[in-house]
Amino acid sequence: MTRKRVAVLISGRGTNLQALLDAQGPFCPYEIVVVVSNNAGVAGLDRAREAGVEAVAIEHRAFGKDREAFERALDAFLRDRNVELVALAGFMRVLTSYFVGAWAGKLINIHPSLLPSFPGLDTYARALASGAKLAGCSVHWVTEGVDTGPIIGQAAVPVMPGDTPDALAARTLEAEHLLYPACLSLVCGGAPLSQGPAPILVNAFL
Ligand code: GAR
């Protein structure tokens, strides 16, 4: 089986990266060939190395305010590694139209809300304040605009009485770890991997 060569972009702890790594088995249609962080020394880079995957920091700070210069360096690095698809997993930089255009149709993201509700930051507190009874996460294509691209799949989790943002984040994260491998597998041409025992999991189909 030819596997799609995937790069995962992270900024921190990398638990979604870990889920994507752990799902790589004989029937997995993707291979994570490189992990790039815009912050050096983060736990996610160690996770990649422990899995035998190349792990590199390309620090946005080195490029000052020049977002596009950072993205040109990132783009050149990914092309050098013959990357076919880029998966953002807790990558906390907004990408400009330069990078989004260069990787159009090959760039996906996971976001901790049921889009189109709550794009951007502080999703858990905003979901709680809204009074919604369901929260969750979405995997979507990245287009210009923050968290607005076409949705690939979503997983829902219940909002419980007395929830705090941290409690809701932890519940949502468990669903993310099931949803992201299923969606990445799907866009790489395979069947969605088993969705596991998530409490409520919907619609991981293109
Ligand atoms: C995840 O909850 C992910 O959905 C979120 O950051 C966390 C990263 O955790 N991403 C965003 O908020 C993107 N706007 P991880 O590093 O443990 O995967």
- The answer to whether residues 153 and 138 touch, using CB atoms and an 8 Å cutoff, is yes
Total residue length of the chain: 206
Give me the catalytic one of 60, 111, 140, 177.
Answer: 111
Cα gap 43→51, rounded to integer Å: 13
DSSP 204: -
111 included as an active-site residue: yes
- 10 Å Cβ neighbour count for 88? 22
Ligand 1 site, residue 135, Cβ cutoff 6 A: no
Span from the CA of 109 to the centroid of ligand 1 (angstroms): 9
DSSP alpha helix (H) spans, the chain? 15-22, 43-50, 67-80, 97-102, 123-130, 165-187
> Can you spell out the DSSP letters for 67-106?
HHHHHHHHHHHHHHTT--EEEESS--SPPPHHHHHHTTTS
Cα gap 24→47, rounded to integer Å: 14
- The answer to whether residues 151 and 110 touch, using CB atoms and an 8 Å cutoff, is no
Quick one: average pLDDT of 117-139?
97
| Domain co-membership, 117 together with 77 | no
For residue 201, the enclosing domain spans: 111-206
Q: Which atom of ligand 1 is nearest to the CA of 10?
A: 16
* Residue 1's pLDDT band (cuts 50, 70, 90): confident
Span from the CA of 112 to the centroid of ligand 1 (angstroms): 7
- The answer to whether residues 187 and 206 touch, using CB atoms and an 8 Å cutoff, is yes
Tell me phi and psi for residue 197, to 5 degrees: -90, 40
Domain boundary among 78, 103, 128: 103
Q: Domain total for the chain?
A: 2
Ligand 1 site, residue 173, Cβ cutoff 6 A: yes
Please list the residues that pair with 5 across neighbouring strands: 31
| Model confidence at 199: pLDDT above 90 | no
Domain boundary among 86, 103, 120: 103
Structure tokens given for 106: 């090959």
The CATH number of residue 116's host domain is 3.40.50.170
Ligand 1 site, residue 15, Cβ cutoff 6 A: yes
Q: Which atom of ligand 1 is nearest to the CA of 112?
A: 4
Span from the CA of 181 to the centroid of ligand 1 (angstroms): 14
- Of 79, 82, 148, whose CA–CA distance to 120 is shortest? 148
Residues 32-88: tens digit of each pLDDT: 999 999 999 999 999 999 999 999 999 999 999 999 999 999 999 999 999 999 999
| Model confidence at 204: pLDDT above 80 | no
**Please, what is the end-to-end C-alpha distance for the chain in angstroms?**
22
The residue among 161 and 205 whose pLDDT is bigger is 161
pLDDT of residue 192: 54
Ligand 1 site, residue 167, Cβ cutoff 6 A: no
Span from the CA of 1 to the centroid of ligand 1 (angstroms): 30
Ligand 1 site, residue 13, Cβ cutoff 6 A: yes
| Domain co-membership, 85 together with 174 | no
Ligand 1 site, residue 12, Cβ cutoff 6 A: yes
Which residue is closest in CA terms to ligand 1's atom 6?
90
Which residue is closest in CA terms to ligand 1's atom 18?
16
Domain boundary among 53, 83, 103: 103
| Domain co-membership, 96 together with 127 | no
